[in-house]
């Protein structure tokens, strides 16, 4: 044993020495790596290590999200790397542009270091519109579930027949009726007996008409009450009755009192409205005889205490003319070289609200005419009106007034209106209208009304220069560079730098160039080139002395016949004494429509800004920027104009008006009923019956269409 051990010892010694050497080398390597760890971490953090890589995703051309990918040697789950002959592709170049700010006020605030904001607004709006279309309910059960989710109550009785009407008549977006809930929700916090008493008092006053349906077995709508000084004021009521002929047999009995004038007249105290909404959520009623005490008066009474309008008033930031009704004898204010960043509308509903934008109170005739505003109502009154501002609680309708059916005649040429986009020769922004919107009195501030300021802008009044954002494509020497808008035939046939058909779904290619600070442009050169805006005379709505002032202030033009719209690429629509009744006709025209308003309408939730039209602030501070952009990017304007016309033809038909009023009257009949529970719709439990029952509901409407005017036997 001993001799054998002596013989094998020389064989074990080299092995031990080799093991010891390996251990020493491993420890040395470990100590070296620990000493170099901070340097390795820094290289990974700044992305300089050769083994590290990044993956970058760009969102809307203004924001980047970068993820670091671990090198294979540091990723325990990664398979061993294999040598590759081809070099790895370089990661996408990061977008280093600044981000624009989407303000809670509904405005995009431009960052000069970001790309031009309009392509971003367009892409966001198109994505939102596509998502809205994709999530629309396609079955009655889906529509009931979506209704309950949105409003925390079941749909009204008759909802199944209403839904079948929308299906048979191809009424799109059957879930998008939030405006009805915004108008009627406070009434759920008021006892039906109190609402009925308020309605009787309303009908006893002059200047109202009532349409509805008696519970005496008669199956149609009729004019139930009439206290108007002129028969013509009742004409819209008969148009509404005619609009509802196909569905009147399906409506429950109700009485609806209508204000026959263009504008609303019910300003409700904010605290009272909130008290009613809180009661509605709890299933209780407010004490209508003892409303909460008024904390403020006038227009501000309709605004929340935390709103900008109330906060600015409390801090003294709201200057005259809001404080009083002293006349303004200066020239109308028009946009020019305003301080601060440029802004554009991204949420039209918010942009119309004076509580969010107090400047509306001193720049729109609907508010300026009443100075600090009328006294707020101390009770909720169920009154219907043709147009309603965010400060009023009138119930708005889908009005058939001034209905425009289809394309304008154009010598037998095919639509739209006989001329293609490329054939339209007038590329100035066009508007003709009367000086409505306010009474022009000596002691009023009519110079600040919305139409007066628009006409002043078209007349070239204001500062010597105006500031305009670089549109990011060839433009003319108005800006001191290159040659001009291609539509003017002044040359400049360079390519459009913005690709509006970008297939990556994220941003246009031209968005990599910062928009920069606005460029100063001589007003005397830009206005004639861009605008064809003027009052059509003679002056109206004015005291004799003020009519003379208006006549001297402006160069009055003749009214343009609406068939001349075949020549216009760009048209602006603004409010008058109330909402604009010409908007439907303009949307059908095939022109690109710019719209400024303070009146949310029945279609507000069903129409997409920057997809179907161009939203403009009431201040018009974004108007020239938007117009210059679309003049420089002709295809973008053509795209929106075509989409707007198609929307008007598919989403604003008489069937769409009927569907809105049908649902509105169902909702209204329930909220006025003393038994609201029985006036609600309950979906049947067995889903297996859905297909059969839905077919039966649709069949009833199809028979009604075939037997137009004949009573249904079911």
Binned at pLDDT 50, 70 and 90, residue 161 comes out as very high
Other C-beta atoms lying within 10 Å of the C-beta of residue 605 = 18
Give the per-residue pLDDT at 97: 77
- The CB-side HSE value for 585 (13 A sphere, CA atoms) comes to 18
Residue 593: pLDDT over 50: yes
* Mean pLDDT for the stretch of residues 635-641: 96
Distance from C-alpha of 426 to C-alpha of 423, rounded to nearest angstrom: 9
Lowest model confidence (mean pLDDT) among 383-397, 475-489, 672-686: 475-489
Give the per-residue pLDDT at 326: 64
Binned at pLDDT 50, 70 and 90, residue 180 comes out as very high
Residue 315: pLDDT over 90: no
Give the per-residue pLDDT at 317: 66
Residue 508: pLDDT over 70: no
Give the per-residue pLDDT at 76: 35
Binned at pLDDT 50, 70 and 90, residue 201 comes out as very high
Residue 632: pLDDT over 70: yes
pTM over 0.85: no
Residue 188: pLDDT over 80: yes
Beta bridge pairs of residue 676: none
Which of the pair, 267 or 90, is modelled with greater confidence? Answer: 267
Binned at pLDDT 50, 70 and 90, residue 316 comes out as low
* Mean pLDDT for the stretch of residues 113-132: 97
Residue 46: pLDDT over 60: no
Give the per-residue pLDDT at 170: 97
Across the chain, mean pLDDT equals 82
Give the per-residue pLDDT at 547: 97
Cβ(301)–Cβ(294) below 8 Å = yes
Distance from C-alpha of 527 to C-alpha of 668, rounded to nearest angstrom: 48
Other C-beta atoms lying within 10 Å of the C-beta of residue 606 = 20
Residue 711: pLDDT over 70: no
* Mean pLDDT for the stretch of residues 69-83: 39
Binned at pLDDT 50, 70 and 90, residue 537 comes out as confident
Smallest CA-to-CA distance from 342 within 470, 456, 429, 448 is with 470
Residue 485: pLDDT over 80: no
Smallest CA-to-CA distance from 524 within 447, 484, 466 is with 466
Smallest CA-to-CA distance from 327 within 364, 369, 359, 360 is with 369
Give the per-residue pLDDT at 477: 41
Q: pLDDT > 90: what percent of the chain?
A: 64
CATH fold label, 423-491+512-656? Rossmann fold (3.40.50)
Beta bridge pairs of residue 258: 209, 384
Binned at pLDDT 50, 70 and 90, residue 572 comes out as very high
Give the per-residue pLDDT at 78: 40
Binned at pLDDT 50, 70 and 90, residue 48 comes out as very low
Residue 443: pLDDT over 60: yes
* Mean pLDDT for the stretch of residues 281-303: 93
H/E segment holding residue 469: none
Lowest model confidence (mean pLDDT) among 143-152, 335-344, 411-420: 411-420
Residue 77: pLDDT over 80: no
Other C-beta atoms lying within 10 Å of the C-beta of residue 530 = 22
Other C-beta atoms lying within 10 Å of the C-beta of residue 17 = 10
Residue 459: pLDDT over 70: yes
Lowest model confidence (mean pLDDT) among 93-107, 275-289, 318-332, 523-537: 318-332
Binned at pLDDT 50, 70 and 90, residue 95 comes out as low
Give the per-residue pLDDT at 708: 72
Give the per-residue pLDDT at 295: 87
Q: Tokens 């059908």 appear where?
A: 588
Distance from C-alpha of 575 to C-alpha of 450, rounded to nearest angstrom: 8
Residue 446 CB partners (closer than 8 Å, separation 6+): 365, 368, 438, 439, 440, 452, 542, 546
Q: pLDDT > 70: what percent of the chain?
A: 76
Distance from C-alpha of 309 to C-alpha of 317, rounded to nearest angstrom: 9
Give the per-residue pLDDT at 450: 97
Binned at pLDDT 50, 70 and 90, residue 497 comes out as very low
Q: What is the pLDDT of residues 362-412, one digit of tens each?
A: 999 999 999 999 988 889 999 999 999 999 999 999 998 877 665 554 444
Give the per-residue pLDDT at 415: 52
Give the per-residue pLDDT at 90: 52
Q: Tokens 């609907």 appear where?
A: 366
Residue 498: pLDDT over 80: no
Map out the domains of the chain as residue ranges: 423-491+512-656
Smallest CA-to-CA distance from 53 within 78, 35, 19 is with 78
Which of the pair, 493 or 144, is modelled with greater confidence? Answer: 144
Other C-beta atoms lying within 10 Å of the C-beta of residue 48 = 9
Give the per-residue pLDDT at 410: 46
Residue 258: pLDDT over 50: yes
Give the per-residue pLDDT at 710: 52
Residue 563: pLDDT over 90: no
Other C-beta atoms lying within 10 Å of the C-beta of residue 500 = 18
Residue 55: pLDDT over 80: no
């Amino acid at each position: 044993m001993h001799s054998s051990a002596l013989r094998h010892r020389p064989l074990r010694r080299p092995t031990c020495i080799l093991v010891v050497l390996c251990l020493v080398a491993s420890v040395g390597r470990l100590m070296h790596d620990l000493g170099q760890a901070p340097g390795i971490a820094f290289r990974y953090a700044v992305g300089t290590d050769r083994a590290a890589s990044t993956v970058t995703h760009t969102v809307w051309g203004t924001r980047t999200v970068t993820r670091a990918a671990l090198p294979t040697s540091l990723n325990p789950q990664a398979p061993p790397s294999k040598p590759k002959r081809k070099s790895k592709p370089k990661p996408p170049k990061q977008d280093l542009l600044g981000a624009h700010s989407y303000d809670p006020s509904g405005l995009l605030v431009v960052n000069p270091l970001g790309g031009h904001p309009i392509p971003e607004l367009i892409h966001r709006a198109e994505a939102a519109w596509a998502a809205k279309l994709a999530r629309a309910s396609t079955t009655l059960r889906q529509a009931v579930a979506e209704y309950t989710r949105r409003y925390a109550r079941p749909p009204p009785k008759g909802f199944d027949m209403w839904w079948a009407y929308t299906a048979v008549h191809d009424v799109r977006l059957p879930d998008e009726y939030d405006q009805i809930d915004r108008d009627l929700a406070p009434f759920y916090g008021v006892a039906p007996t109190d609402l009925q008493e308020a309605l009787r008092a309303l009908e006893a006053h002059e200047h109202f008409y009532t349409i509805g349906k008696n519970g005496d077995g008669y199956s149609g709508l009729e004019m139930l009450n009439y206290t108007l000084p002129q028969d013509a004021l009742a004409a819209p009521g008969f148009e509404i009755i005619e609009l509802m002929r196909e569905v009147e047999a399906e409506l429950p009995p109700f009485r609806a009192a209508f204000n026959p004038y263009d504008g609303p007249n019910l300003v409700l105290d904010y605290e009272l409205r909130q008290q009613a909404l809180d009661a509605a959520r709890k299933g209780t009623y407010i004490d209508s005889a003892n409303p909460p005490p008024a904390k403020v008066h006038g227009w501000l009474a309709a605004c929340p205490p935390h709103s900008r309008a109330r906060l600015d008033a409390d801090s003294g930031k709201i200057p005259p003319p809001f404080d009083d009704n002293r006349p303004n004898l200066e020239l109308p204010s028009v946009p020019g070289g305003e301080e601060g960043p440029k802004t554009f509308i991204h949420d039209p509903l918010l942009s119309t609200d004076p509580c969010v934008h107090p400047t509306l109170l001193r720049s729109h005739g609907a508010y300026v005419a009443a100075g600090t505003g009328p006294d707020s109502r101390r009770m909720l009154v169920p009154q219907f009106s043709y147009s309603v501002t965010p400060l009023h609680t009138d119930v708005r309708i889908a009005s058939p007034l001034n209905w425009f059916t289809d394309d304008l005649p154009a010598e037998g040429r095919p639509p739209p209106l006989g001329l293609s986009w490329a054939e339209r020769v007038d590329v100035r922004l066009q508007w003709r209208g009367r000086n409505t919107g306010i009474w022009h009195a000596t002691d009023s501030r009519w110079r600040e009304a919305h139409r007066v300021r628009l006409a002043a802008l078209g007349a070239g009044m204001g500062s010597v220069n105006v500031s305009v954002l670089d549109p990011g494509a060839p433009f003319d020497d108005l800006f001191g560079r290159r040659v001009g808008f291609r539509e003017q035939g002044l040359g400049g046939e360079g390519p459009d730098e913005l690709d509006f058909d970008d297939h990556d779904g994220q941003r246009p290619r031209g968005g990599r160039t910062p928009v920069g600070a606005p460029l100063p442009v001589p007003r005397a050169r830009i206005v004639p080139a861009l605008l064809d805006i003027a009052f059509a005379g003679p002056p109206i709505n004015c005291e004799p002395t003020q009519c003379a002032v208006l006549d001297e202030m402006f160069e009055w033009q003749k009214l343009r016949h609406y068939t001349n719209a075949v020549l216009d690429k760009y048209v602006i629509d603004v409010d008058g004494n109330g909402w604009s009744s010409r908007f439907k006709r303009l949307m059908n025209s095939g022109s690109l429509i710019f719209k400024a308003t303070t009146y949310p309408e029945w279609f507000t939730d069903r129409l997409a800004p920057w997809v179907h039209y161009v939203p403009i602030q009431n201040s018009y501070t974004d108007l020239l920027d938007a117009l210059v952009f679309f003049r420089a990017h002709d295809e973008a304007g053509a795209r929106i104009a075509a989409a707007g016309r198609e929307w008007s033809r598919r989403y604003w038909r008489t069937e769409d008006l009927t569907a809105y009023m049908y649902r509105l009257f169902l909702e209204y009949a329930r909220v006025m009923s003393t038994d609201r529970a029985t006036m609600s719709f309950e979906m049947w439990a067995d889903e297996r019956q859905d297909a059969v029952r839905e077919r039966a509901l649709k069949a009833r409407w199809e028979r009604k269409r075939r037997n137009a005017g004949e009573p249904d036997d079911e």
